[in-house]
Amino acid sequence: MTRIIAGEHGGRRLATPTGDRTRPTSDRVREALFGALVASGDLTDLAFLDLYAGSGAVGLEAASRGATPVLLIESHQPTARIIKRNIATLRVDDRVEVVAATLPQAVKRAAPRRFDVVYIDPPYDLPQRELTEVLTALVTGDWLAEDADVIVERSSRSDEPDWPNGLATVRSRRYGESTLWYGRALWT
């Protein structure tokens, strides 16, 4: 079981998928991620997008800390059902939505909006080319608010994401097997 670390639902436990299909973001990495985000300011009323959402722990942590709306995208239908149960358990269905689709499908199905924070935690074996396609789709699909933070979690053995035009590296931080790459949307 994974838990919400802080905020309105701090300490609440979340259901997680069984097996090795997903790799939950560790409490340590989530604490570091939200520590960095909160250092830049409060999450209250920031639009938050969680791609490759898994159990939804990162997006639900954001909601617990005041982010709204929160959109979680998860392509695996059974895992998306677990996220829906977690949303119902926390009673945040008025501000958290899950879309069970791949990113290209979600772009077509989700209501258009711009996000202040985007968290991307794909499978570690996702090829760099596919990650770049996802990052490019966020830029060209107009999913990013001005100065949006885009955070990519990758294996510490992976190269830096190939940021497309419109996104730039801010910094990276390593946490054992995981590295968080922080990018920022560039508006001209």
Task: Give the domain CATH number at 35.
Answer: 3.40.50.150
What percentage of residues in the chain have a pLDDT greater than 70?
93
- Distance between CA atoms of 73 and 59, rounded to whole angstroms? 10
- pTM, two decimal places: 0.92
Which distant-in-sequence residues (6+ apart) come within 8 Å of 4 by Cβ?
A: 10, 11, 12, 14, 57, 60, 61, 64, 90
Backbone angles phi, psi at 107, to 5 degrees: -60, -35
Tell me the residue length of the chain: 188
Tell me the residue range of the domain where 9 lies.
2-19+26-185
pLDDT tens track for 12-31: 998 888 766 566 777 788 88
Number of domains in the chain: 1
Backbone angles phi, psi at 168, to 5 degrees: -135, 150
Predicted local distance difference test score (pLDDT) of residue 111 = 63
pLDDT tens track for 46-56: 999 999 998 89
